[in-house]
Amino acid sequence: MTTSLVTGGCGFIGSHIVDKLDFLGHDIIVIDDLSAPENSEFYYNRKENIQYVHKDISKDDCSDYFSNVDFVFHLAARSRIQPTIGNPEDCFRVNVIGTQRVMEWSKINSVRRVVYSGTSSLYGQQNQIPFTPNMPTYCLNPYSMSKWMGEQVCKLYFQLYQLESIVLRYFNVYGPREPLKGQYAPVIGLFKRQAKEGKRMTIVGDGLQRRDFTYINDVVDANICAIKTKATKHNIYNVGTGINYAIIEIADMIKDSLGVVHIPERLAEVRETLADIKATVKDLEWQPRHLIKDKINSY
């Protein structure tokens, strides 16, 4: 029996990975401190093969839970850009120290491979699209900087201790269970919430910013491909679609909306993102299967 551990497994992406691992027949340990401020609820799969542990990876000793674990999916993080600008200390504690502790526990317990959930936000402003994993990083905020530092921890543990790890840089994930809470919720969840509440959708700036939106099922599939691949023992891969849309176009796709209202631009956000996924397709044998125009109103 394969045993997998998922940090942050009660959140948006993590809970979907837990469901997929359950479907694949894994025994699963979930570690989550249930503190993500953007989540209005947390998600549980009440199966006998799934153990839930309420602990903070950056503060609590979780080493015993890594015993006899084959694969670790590390998603626990502070994951919104704007809130981390106001609280960088908490962001670096969870995203950097927390990652180092996860890697150390994985090393001590001879985990076969760690899959690290990264971010496309570290490509910054200076790189030309489409973004490729070998481009220099240009972190504009504590969130992207801390997630890049987490990648470096993964790299260090592979170089020093041969602990295998795959880094997946996500591009604007959306789908069922996406965060809806607060003004900094991911844009699709925010728009859908506002439409449901009978409010106009709030567009930051002119709405011509472009993003590569990735459906949750494709992100989950990339994680599973990351533990199966024999093409590499450590590398960084983009998880996107290779297609981007203006935010104003996304607003036009939302059913039953009452239109939009423009609000001031925000600090430290990029103008355009677009994933180059050639290496992901080649090495992980993964393909995005869902288009936003087909999925955005399906849940």
Catalytic site residues? 143
Q: What are phi and psi of 35, to 5 degrees?
A: -110, -5
DSSP 31-95: E--S--TT-S-------TTEEEE---TTTS--GGGGTT-SEEEE--S---HHHHHH-HHHHHIII
On whether the CB atoms of residues 40 and 83 are closer than 8 A, the answer is no
Count Cβ neighbours within 10 Å for each residue of 166-176 and write b for 16 or more, e otherwise.
bbbbbbbbbbe
How many whole angstroms separate alpha carbon 289 and alpha carbon 142?
Answer: 32
Q: How far is CA 124 from CA 91, 127, 208, 272, in A?
A: 18, 7, 17, 9
